[in-house]
A and B are shown apart, each in its own frame.
Chain A
Amino acid sequence: MTQPMPPSPVTRSSSIPPRAARTTSPETVVITGICGRLGKRLARTLHREVPVVGVDRRPFTDKPKDVEHVEIDIRRKKLKDVFRSGDIAAVVHLGVMHDPRASTADHHSWNVTGFVKLLEYVAHFQIPKLVVLSSANVYGPQPDNAQFLAEEAPLLGGQNFSEIRDLIEVDMLAQSFFWKHPETETVILRPVHILGTVRNAASNFLRLPTVPTALGFDPMVQVVHEQDVVHALHLALAPGVRGIFNLAGPEPLPLSRIIKILGRPRMPVPVTLGKLVLKRLWSLRLTNFPPPEIDHIRYVCMVDDRRARQVLGYAPRHSIEETVRAVDSEQW
């Protein structure tokens, strides 16, 4: 699997004039998938600074008044109207669907076709900035992973877990867009397991009343607080920043310690048995964890985020305890 070498990130170059100095400075930020929990949080962080336009087919409850919400599917032609209104400084793409229960066709058309459309408009209207939220899962947990994967590591996540192949495709599409359209500053963020009020596999796993683990395995795990990801997305909007950035949270911990922080009982299950049971439960629709995700509690999939720390100026603000406990917090 060959992929373009990630660009050596240009530091915030001073050659670009500050946006305020331009006569007609575009400043609107378009956020796709704004009604997800991360999208809402990002909107709340941004809406006091810049005009925010959200695109999502879901309804936006308790929306701040000055956020404009366009309730459409990103695959619709109508999306172009959002761009036509002009004045767009940046597009933040959070609208990736990762629902293992959805049909693969649906998944693919939403994630890939929708994203291709979006890229088309970004190129056509020459939007100066594109931020794509990918995930460290694209590297995939493997027994022979380096302890900390750099941005250059191959994206092997789909090797044993075909459901995430379209997420890898999104990442790759963004990478090729980076090269094809140098006039747009493309940023790809690859955060590790995001914990918080979000409904992703990692948070849901830690919310289980008794957390199953793989007997005889206790890999080191990195997690990141959702608010820290929002902070990184905010940093990525700064002019001059481009490239691929891994995002890790506070220091890595063995999985057992993370479960201990939550004070939940843990039940080690032999891997072969666990796989068998999970497959059965999955086919009976009694669980939302696809069987290949067992690899995440067996092997390491950790990233090296030195580039994000140096170039983006990113640093997690939440301690490991705060990050892990965030899965139980209801308020936000």
Chain B
Amino acid sequence: MAIEPSSKGRPNGGAGRGLASLVRVRSLAPLVRRLWGDALTSIDEWMTASLGEEFSERLGRVPVALGQAGVDPFGLDPRWTKYALASAGILHRHYFRTEVFGAKNVPAGKVLLVGNHSGQLPIDATLLGAAMFMDVEPPRFIRAMVEKWTQTLPFVSLLFSRVGQVVGVPENALRLLEQGEALVVFPEGARGISKTFDKRYQLTDFGLGFMRLAIETGAPIVPIAIIGGEEQYISVANLDRVAKVLGMPSFPVMPQLLIPGGQLPLPTKYRIYFGEPMFFDGDPDDDDSVIEEKVWLVRATIQSMVNRGVKARQHIFW
């Protein structure tokens, strides 16, 4: 299937190893291929069992701009995305038991999904991806922008590209929207995800780039509030100096990591609210102050959705 069987037992490369090892590995190829095929079939069966028949049916209905080779111009391959979505789907349905509100608000075609970011690890993005596939009509694959340095990491860059995540440069965002994709943006960025517990559900500053993008492409902005992320990892402090030394965006202090099993995120109940789409027009190259006003509108909408969502829930875990 998508991953070559040769990705299992392979020679360490290099001319020095000689041909002998190469020939030996080659003769193993049919066996490896059969085992790999069997493994994929059983994964598929297990996927259907835990996520329902509907899962594969929805997969066929996702609007993607696939070429005749079955890959989109950015390298998205539905055969890989299927497995990524299945694991996200299991978290979504069984671990975090996400409740989705206002799924009807997501328009078909190009759209910018703008939400609050929280929880130290981007589980909110994963669940949003699962929700967009399993709860929204028509089912969609979300596209997100990733850090440039991830492209230099083996396997990570490959995986990201096959499941539709692209390098974070404005040209790519423009092109994805022109292609009619659903683009996820967390304008808070790293500031948002590394919030400490005392700042939970308070939005930090928003970047302006997403608004210029929305104006330029005429794409609607769907404001999204994600509730439940702030309690999955409780961070009591952020050691900026340590982070700087280690070259990380933040260094959260999370006491739960010391408790056995606490390394997993706490199984909070997630709630995802999709707001009504917002449309903006004007000049995408306007002054920051003009753009800022529009951004402020989106930020205020998301903040009030978050506040209502937090108020409405009875309990963090159910």
A233 to chain B, nearest CB (A): 26
- Given A251-B68, A253-B71, A268-B7, A277–B15 Cβ distance below 8 Å? yes
Contact A251 B148 (CB under 8 A): no
Contact B71 A267 (CB under 8 A): no
Counting chain B CB atoms within 10 Å of each CB, the highest count among A147, A148, A252, A254 belongs to A147
A220 at the interface (CB under 8 A from B): yes
Selected contact of B74 from candidates A147, A210, A218, CB within 8 Å: A147
- Given A220-B74, A256-B4, A271-B154, A147–B13 Cβ distance below 8 Å? no
- Complex formed: what's the CA distance from A141 to B175 in Å? 19
Give the contacts of B109-153 with A (CB-CB under 8 A): 148-149, 151-153
Q: Which residues of B contact A147 (CB under 8 A)?
A: 73-74, 166-167, 171-172, 175
Contact B171 A148 (CB under 8 A): yes
- Complex formed: what's the CA distance from A210 to B26 in Å? 12
Contact A212 B67 (CB under 8 A): no
- Complex formed: what's the CA distance from A146 to B170 in Å? 8
A215 to chain B, nearest CB (A): 6
B216 to chain A, nearest CB (A): 15
Contact A146 B13 (CB under 8 A): no
Q: Which residues of B contact A256 (CB under 8 A)?
A: 4
Contact B14 A254 (CB under 8 A): no
B158 at the interface (CB under 8 A from A): yes
- The range of chain A's interface size is 35 or more
Selected contact of A270 from candidates B6, B16, B149, B154, CB within 8 Å: B154
Q: Which residues of B contact A218 (CB under 8 A)?
A: 158, 161
- Complex formed: what's the CA distance from A281 to B13 in Å? 13
A1 at the interface (CB under 8 A from B): no
B11 at the interface (CB under 8 A from A): yes
A155 at the interface (CB under 8 A from B): no
Binary A-proximity of B157-168 (CB < 8 A = 1, otherwise 0): 110010000110
B176 to chain A, nearest CB (A): 9
Binary B-proximity of A134-163 (CB < 8 A = 1, otherwise 0): 000000000111111110000000000000
Contact B13 A144 (CB under 8 A): no
- Given A216-B157, A216-B158, A277–B14 Cβ distance below 8 Å? yes
- Given A145-B167, A265-B26, A220–B10 Cβ distance below 8 Å? no
Counting chain A CB atoms within 10 Å of each CB, the highest count among B13, B68, B161, B172 belongs to B13
Contact A144 B161 (CB under 8 A): no
CB-nearest residue of chain B relative to A218? Answer: B158
Contact B148 A144 (CB under 8 A): yes
Q: Which residues of B contact A173 (CB under 8 A)?
A: none
Q: Which residues of A contact B73 (CB under 8 A)?
A: 147-148, 220, 251-252
Q: Which residues of B contact A268 (CB under 8 A)?
A: 6-7, 10, 13
Contact A281 B6 (CB under 8 A): no
Binary B-proximity of A94-127 (CB < 8 A = 1, otherwise 0): 0000000000000000000000000000000000
Selected contact of B155 from candidates A216, A251, A266, CB within 8 Å: A216
Give the contacts of B43-86 with A (CB-CB under 8 A): 67-69, 71, 73-75, 77
B169 at the interface (CB under 8 A from A): yes
A70 to chain B, nearest CB (A): 44
Q: Which residues of B contact A144 (CB under 8 A)?
A: 148, 151, 167, 169
Selected contact of B4 from candidates A217, A220, A252, A266, CB within 8 Å: A266
A274 at the interface (CB under 8 A from B): yes
A5 at the interface (CB under 8 A from B): no
Selected contact of B149 from candidates A143, A210, A286, A299, CB within 8 Å: A143
A181 at the interface (CB under 8 A from B): no
A320 at the interface (CB under 8 A from B): yes
Contact A251 B67 (CB under 8 A): yes
Give the contacts of A238-256 with B (CB-CB under 8 A): 251-254, 256
CB-nearest residue of chain A relative to B74? Answer: A147
CB-nearest residue of chain B relative to A281? Answer: B15
B289 at the interface (CB under 8 A from A): no
Q: Which residues of A contact B155 (CB under 8 A)?
A: 216
- Given A144-B169, A217-B154, A253-B69, A267–B175 Cβ distance below 8 Å? no
B27 at the interface (CB under 8 A from A): no
- Complex formed: what's the CA distance from A219 to B12 in Å? 21
Q: Which residues of B contact A274 (CB under 8 A)?
A: 13
A254 to chain B, nearest CB (A): 6
Instruction: Give chain B's interface residues, CB within 8 Å of chain A.
Output: 4, 6-7, 10-16, 22, 26, 67-69, 71, 73-75, 77, 148-149, 151-158, 161, 166-167, 169, 171-172, 175
Known A-B contacts: A144-B148, A277-B16. Give 13 more (CB < 8 A). A146-B169, A147-B73, A147-B166, A147-B171, A216-B157, A220-B161, A252-B73, A266-B4, A267-B13, A268-B13, A271-B154, A277-B13, A277-B14
What would 17 A/B residue contacts be, using CB atoms closer than 8 Å? A145-B167, A145-B169, A146-B169, A146-B171, A216-B153, A216-B157, A216-B158, A220-B74, A251-B73, A254-B71, A265-B6, A267-B10, A267-B22, A268-B10, A273-B12, A277-B14, A299-B151
- Nearest 4 pairs of A and B residues by beta carbon: A216-B154, A269-B13, A146-B171, A143-B151
